[in-house]
Structure formats: C-alpha cells, structure tokens
Structure 1
Amino acid sequence: MRFHADLHIHSKYSRACSKDSDLEHLARWARRKGVTVMGAGDFTHPAWFERLREDLVPAEPGLFRLRAELDGEAARGLPPGVASAEVRFMLSVEVSTVYRRGGRTRKIHHLVYMPGFDAAEAFNRGVARFGDLSSDGRPTLGLDSRELLEITLACGDGAYLVPAHVWTPWFGVFGSKSGFDTIEECYGDLAGHIFALETGLSSDPAMNWRVSGLDRYRMVSYSDAHSPPRVGRESTVFDVDLDYFAVLRALRTGAGHEGTVEFFPEEGRYHLDGHRKCGVRMAPEQTREHGGICPVCGRPLTVGVLSRVEELADREEAVRPDGAAGFRNLVPLPEIVGEILGVGPQSKKVLAEVDGLIAALGPEPTILEDVPVGDIAALSPPLAEAVDRLRRGKVIREPGYDGEYGTIRLFGPGEPSPADTVTTPALF
C-alpha cells in the first residue's frame, strides 16, 4: 500500500501551538492533505497521554485510529473525495535535550516513536527525572543525546529515535549553534541505532547528498506542524503494509521507503544566514567575506543550513547514493491558490476553493503531483499553469533566514491577470 506519512506534529499542549491541535482537527486536516499515517505527537505530556489513551483505539500493529471514526463523526463535513480516507496514528514525541559536551552547550531535538502505550509509558518513566513533562508537549530534558537514545532502546522492540530537522542552527544535530559534525559524535557507541534523519524545512535530500557520511541514512521529511492546517506540508512516502513495524523496516532497510515530499528548501526559516532584526540576509560566500559578522550590528550572524551543509560537504555537487529514495519539491496547494487569488493561504476564500478542488480532483498530493494538467485547466487555467511550473521546478525563490520563512512564487509581477482568475462560478 502506498501512502504519505507525517510523523512529526505537535498537540495543543506544546508551546506556540494552536488550541485546535487536537486529534479531531489533526485527523480532518490529514484527510484534506492526503496523509494516511500521522504522528500522535507529545505523548510525554501527562494530559495529552491520557487523551491519546481515551480517544485512540488499536488498528493495525502499532497503529491507532480515532475512536470518533467508528461513528462517522471524524469525517463529517469534509469533501466527498477525502471523507472516506483512512487515517492512522503512531505514538510520537519530539524531545529537546540540553546538556554540556566538549566544552559547549548542546541543544538537540529528537523524534521518538513507540509501538504501543506500554512502551510509551515506560519511556515517560525513564525520562521524567530529567525534566518536567507537564510543562511543555515538547519536553526539555537535561540529559545527553546518547542517554536519551539508550532510554529509547530500553523500551523494547520497535522503539526508535530519529534526529529532528538535523541542520537547523539552534536545535539540529548538525546545527551551527550547538550541534556536532557527525552522528557518531552525538550518539557515541549507540550511533549504529540511528538509521534515518529528518531533513527539516530548510534542506532537502539533495543538500544532504553532498555529505558522503550521510549516505547510509534514510532521509525523512515531516511537517513539524504547530497547527492543523500545517499537517502534510512535508511528508514521507511509503509503499508497505499499513503497519508500524513495516514502516520501521522500510526505514531500516530502504525497501518500501519511496521518498519524500519537501518544501523548496529556500522556503525554510533558516536556509540562508543573517539577522532578521537587522534585515540582513547573506549567502554563504557573503558570510565568509564578512567573517560571520553582521555589518549592521556587529554581532555574529545566525549561520543557516546552506552554510552548514557547505562546511561539512565533501562533494561539490549532490551525488544520489545507491538505493536512495527520490524526492519532490512542492508548494502547498493553499499557498498556490492564495497567490492566484491575492489573499492569504489560510483565508476562508482559499479554504473554500481548495475544498472544491479536492472534491473535484482528489487529495492535495494527487492534485500537485498526478492529476493531468489538462484536467486542472478545465477548472482553472491559472492553477493548471501554476502546477505545470511547479512540476518543472520553475519557481521564484526568496530564501528564508534567521527564523523568517522564505517565499516561493509561481508567477511574476502582473500574472496571472485578474481576468484569468475567474473562469467558472465555483472555482476561481
């Protein structure tokens, strides 16, 4: 079975996350975005853990379904094309470890997965003495990354850890502010138990392929959604049985790991270097020319993902490792529709149009990747043109830096014209 998975999300108990980040809203948006397997997120938080126990029921091995699905409530009001879609949950949590190693403070984020509630409860007991689990859905723990991995593995068969958004400056395992140069440095003698890396929004697999030491890892991408509409903005594609352990085998072996759907990395918040407050954005060569110092305030720049990749790269160009899965750079459908209509991607007008498109053409990934351009043109010529450009990688890029999202556009100034955007009474 081929499906999209988004295994890095947060609940309403995580800081800076939407109050709508509950299981019902997450499941509804998973359907809209064509996501079949979702991370349940934040299982270390006591209140959220109880909600998970109450609202999830066992489905396939290691996976759960929403109890509300059993009486049809979960899909009520969704477009017909997605209302019947299956959604499964996998127990997941993002953990922040803060500690001293090698004379530096290390702040590393990790994704931890468990095949059942007993294993998750054992993990929670194991880490509770290192931090207050009730203070944040993404707990901050005062222990070494290697020790976190040891606690994870002790929870039994199927428990595993994936380093999160590995290149981001502040919290990535390779981040410029507090990271390491290799996985072995971070996880020590247990590094052999790491088999997958999350690329994060500011990098894609091709950037990682410039570092030969990463060839043996499976690249995964997930949304890190802080609100339900962000679900599925990045995802990983599998072609395996709908089964926790089948997903795990695919990540270990590569068989059934079909690749990732990614942002264009320039859209990520930390792609280039700079200072947001000073309005300074620099490419790596400019940063080197300035000695890493902001020309406005005289303080060190926030060194972003591209610079850090170039620092560790031992290849001039990306070389796809033998057997490595491919990837697609896409722009979320609401962003494309918002650009055409000249309004924000989360506006009611955009959401209504996207619902109409999903009802007519299928889930968002299908529209962006598979539906013939001619079929899209029958509903909206400007959308068809945008999707055609997207599939060919013909986009306009304004890279993000120092916490500021970048912008990816499909049209230049003056296009599409206002007359082009109204082709049918229902869509555009």
Structure 2
Amino acid sequence: MRFHADLHIHSRYARACSKDSDLEHLTWWAQRKGIALMGTGDFTHPVWFERLRESLVPAEPGLFRLREDLASGPAADVGGALPAGVVPGQVRFMLSSEVSTIYRRGERTRKIHHLVYMPGFDEAAAFNRELERVGDLAADGRPVLAMDSRDLLELTLGSGDGAYLVPAHVWTPWFGVFGSKAGFDTVEECYGDLSEEIFALETGLSSDPAMNRRVSALDRYRLVSHSDAHSPPMLGRETTVFDTDLDYFAVLRALRTGKGYAGTTEFFPEEGKYHLDGHRVCEVRLDPAETRELGGRCPVCGRLLTVGVLSRVEELADRPEGFRPDDAVDFRSLVPLPEIVGEVLGVGPKSKKVVKLLDELTTALGPELSILQDVPVDDIAVHSSPLAEAVDRLRRGEVIRDPGYDGTFGTIHLFAPDEPKGAGTAAAPTLF
C-alpha cells in the first residue's frame, strides 16, 4: 500500500499552536490533504495524553484510529464535505512527540529537538514517567528538558520494543543536530555510543534531498520529511511516502532497511524560513559566499548573522551540487495548494475566495496532494484554467523562488508579477 505519512505535528497544548489542533480537526484535515498516517504529536503532555487514550482505539499493529462515534458523528464534520473518494475515519495515528533538550557539551550550549515514537500507550506512559523526573511535562506540548541528547535516546530505547527516535529538522540553526547555532557536525558527536540506533533524520523545510545528497555521511540514513504543523491546515506541506502495510512496525522496518521507503514530498527549500543566511532586523539576506566574505557579520549592524541551512550543507558537503547516488530515492517538490490558489486569485491563501475554490476542487477531484500530483491538468482546467497552468508548471519545476532567511519564510511563485494567467496547459507525469 502506497501512502503519505505526516509524523511531526503538534496539538493544541503546544505553545503557539492552534486551538483547533484537536483530533477531530486533525483527522478531517488529514483526509482533506490525502494523508493516511499521522503522528499524534505531544503525547508527553498529560492532558493531551489522556485525550488520546480516551479518543483513539487500536487499529493495525501499533496504530490507532479515532473512535467510531467521533469519526462519524457531528463532531467529525468540522470542515464541511470531505474530498471525493475519501472514506471517513480511515486516517491512522501513531504515538509521537517532539522533545527539546538543552544542555552543555564541548563548552557550548546545545539545543536539539527530537521526534520520539512509541508503539503503544504502555510504552508511552513508561517514557513519560521517566521524563517527569527531569522536567514539567504540563508546561508545553513540546517539553523542554535539561537532558543530553544521548540520554534521551537511551531513555527512548528503554521504553519498550519498537520505540525509536528521529532527530528533528536537523539543519535548523538553533534546534537541529547540524544547526549552525547549537548543533554538531556529525550524528556520532551528538548521540555518542548510541549513534548506531539513529537510522532516520528529518531534514526540515529549508533543505531537500538534492542538498542532503552532497553530504556522504548521510547516506546511511533514511531522510524523512514532515509538516511540523502548528495548525491543521498546515498538515501535509511535507510528507514521507511509504509503500508498506499500514502498520507501525512495517513503517519502522522501512526506515531501518529502506525497503518500503518510497521518498518524500517537499517544500521547495527556498520557501523554508532558514534557507539562506541573514539578519531579519536589518532585512539583510545573503548567500553562503557573501557570508564568508563578511566574516559572518551583518553588513548593516555588525552583529553575527544567522547562518542558514544552505551554508551548513556547504560546510559539511564532500560532493558537488547535483550529485545523485545510484540508490537515491525520488522526491517531489510541491507548493501548498492554498498558496497556489491564492496566487491565481490574487488574494491571501486563507481568504474566503481561496477556501471556496478549494472546497469545489476537493469535492470534485479528491484530496489536495492528489490534485497537486496526480489529477490530469485538463480536469483541473474545468474549474480554473489559470490554476491548471500553475499546477502544470509546478509539476515541471518551473517556479520563481524568493528564498527565506533568519526566520522569514520564502515564497514560491508560479507566475511572474506582470504575467497574464491562463496560458496553454499540458499534462505531465507525476511521481506518486
């Protein structure tokens, strides 16, 4: 079975996250996007943990589904009609949480985020009991703990068979294992004698597999992508694609061995908010060569720049741009459908006009990920010729990139500012 998984999200109990990030909204939006397998996010938070235990029931091994009365009753109708072809209640969940560790190592303060996965509530409860000795789990859905990354990995592995840890958004300057501000140069430096227990890395919104392939030290890891969604509409902006049984342990085997790991759907890395170097306050954005020439300091105020993902990849790279290993798995770069519709209509991606057209499109054509990748362009043109042209360009990779830096998201456009929309269209092959 080939399916999209989004295994890094947050609940309403995480800071700066939407109050709508409850199970009903998350399930509805997963169906809207075309995601079959979701992380629960935040199982370390005591209130959310109890909500998960009350609302989820066992499905396939290690996976859960929303309780029948919640999945099919009035509470499930949180966003209107579901996309064409979607059967209510088929989304599966696995227990997931992001954990932040802050500690001193090598005369530097390290701030590293990790994704932790558990095959069941007993294992998750055991993990939470150990974390309660270290910090206040009720303070935030993503707990912040004074704990070494290596020790968190040991605690994870000791929680039960099938428990595992994936370093989160590994290139992010402040919180990634390779981040310029608080990270390391290798996985081995971070996790020490347990580093062999790391078999997958989440690469984050500001990089893509083409960039990561330049670093040969990453060849042995499965590179996964997820949304890190702080609200339900942000689900699926990146996903990992599996071709396995819908089963926690099948997913785990795919990540360990590569068999059944079928690639990722990605942001264009320039859209990520840490792609280039810069200083947001001074509105300075620089490429790696410019940063090196300036000695890493802002040309306006003289303070240290935030060194972004592209610079860090270049620092650690031992291969040229464009290198592709023989066993490389494919990926697809996408732009979220609301952003494309907003550009076509000349309004913001959250506007009523966008919502109306999205409802029309998904009701007629299916989930958003399918519209972006699989639905024939001629079928999209029935609803909007300019949108069909935009999707066709997206599938060919013909986009205009305005890179993000120092916490500011970049933008990807399908049309030049003065270009009339709605030229000819032609179908193109898709990956998934």
Task: Tell me the TM-score normalized by structure 2.
Answer: 0.95
| Residue equivalent to 1:400 | 404
Q: Could you say what secondary structure the match of 1:89 adopts?
A: strand
Question: 2:7 matched to 1:7?
Answer: yes
Q: Identify which of 346, 358, 367 aligns with 1:354.
A: 358
| Residue equivalent to 2:82 | 79
Q: Could you say what secondary structure the match of 2:240 adopts?
A: strand
Instruction: Provide the rounded CA distance (Å) in 2 between the counterparts of 1:60 and 1:173.
Output: 32
| Residue equivalent to 2:46 | 46
Question: 2:289 matched to 1:296?
Answer: no
Report the alpha carbon displacement of residue 317 of structure 1 after superposing the two structures with TM. 2.0
1:256-271 to structure 2, matched below 5 A, reads 256-271=260-275
CA contact (8 A) 1:218 1:324 kept: no
1:332-343 to structure 2, matched below 5 A, reads 332-343=336-347
Q: Deviations over 1:10-31 (max 9, x none)?
A: 0011111111111111111101
CA distance 1:417–1:205, shift in 2 (3 Å): closer
Instruction: Provide the rounded CA distance (Å) in 1 between the counterparts of 2:416 and 2:215.
Output: 34
Matched residue type, 1:101: R
Q: Could you say what secondary structure the match of 1:203 adopts?
A: coil
Matched residue type, 2:81: L
CA distance 1:155–1:318, shift in 2 (3 Å): farther
The farther-off stretch of 273-282 and 81-90 is: 81-90
CA distance 1:340–1:250, shift in 2 (3 Å): same
CA distance 1:82–1:52, shift in 2 (3 Å): farther
| Residue equivalent to 1:240 | 244
Pairs aligned (count): 420
CA contact (8 A) 2:238 2:264 kept: yes
CA contact (8 A) 1:382 1:416 kept: no
| Residue equivalent to 2:37 | 37
Q: Identify which of 382, 398, 403 aligns with 2:386.
A: 382
CA distance 1:142–1:45, shift in 2 (3 Å): same
Matched residue type, 2:32: R
Instruction: Provide the rounded CA distance (Å) in 1 between the counterparts of 2:11 and 2:180.
Output: 28
Q: Which runs of 5+ in 2 are unaligned?
A: 425-432
Question: 2:294 matched to 1:317?
Answer: no
1:276-287 to structure 2, matched below 5 A, reads 276-287=280-291
Q: Deviations over 1:20-44 (max 9, x none)?
A: 1111111111011001111000000
Instruction: Provide the rounded CA distance (Å) in 2 between the counterparts of 1:322 and 1:366.
Output: 28
| Residue equivalent to 1:208 | 212
Report the alpha carbon displacement of residue 320 of structure 1 after superposing the two structures with TM. 2.8
1:211-222 to structure 2, matched below 5 A, reads 211-222=215-226
CA contact (8 A) 2:386 2:423 kept: no
Instruction: Provide the rounded CA distance (Å) in 2 between the counterparts of 1:322 and 1:69.
Output: 46
CA contact (8 A) 1:220 1:260 kept: yes
The alignment yields a C-alpha RMSD, in angstroms, of 1.5
| Residue equivalent to 2:427 | none
Q: Which runs of 5+ in 1 are unaligned?
A: 421-428
Report the alpha carbon displacement of residue 83 of structure 1 after superposing the two structures with TM. 4.5
Report the alpha carbon displacement of residue 127 of structure 1 after superposing the two structures with TM. 1.4
| Residue equivalent to 2:430 | none
Instruction: Provide the rounded CA distance (Å) in 1 between the counterparts of 2:93 and 2:348.
Output: 30
Task: Tell me the TM-score normalized by structure 1.
Answer: 0.96
| Residue equivalent to 2:97 | 93
Report the alpha carbon displacement of residue 419 of structure 1 after superposing the two structures with TM. 12
Q: Could you say what secondary structure the match of 1:310 adopts?
A: helix
Q: Deviations over 1:172-228 (max 9, x none)?
A: 000000000000000001000101010100001111100000001001000000011
| Residue equivalent to 1:224 | 228
Report the alpha carbon displacement of residue 414 of structure 1 after superposing the two structures with TM. 2.5
Instruction: Provide the rounded CA distance (Å) in 1 between the counterparts of 2:383 and 2:420.
Output: 15
Report the alpha carbon displacement of residue 348 of structure 1 after superposing the two structures with TM. 2.1
| Residue equivalent to 1:60 | 60
Structure 1 residue runs of 4 or more that deviate by more than 6 Å after TM superposition: none
Q: Deviations over 1:47-67 (max 9, x none)?
A: 110100111111111111111
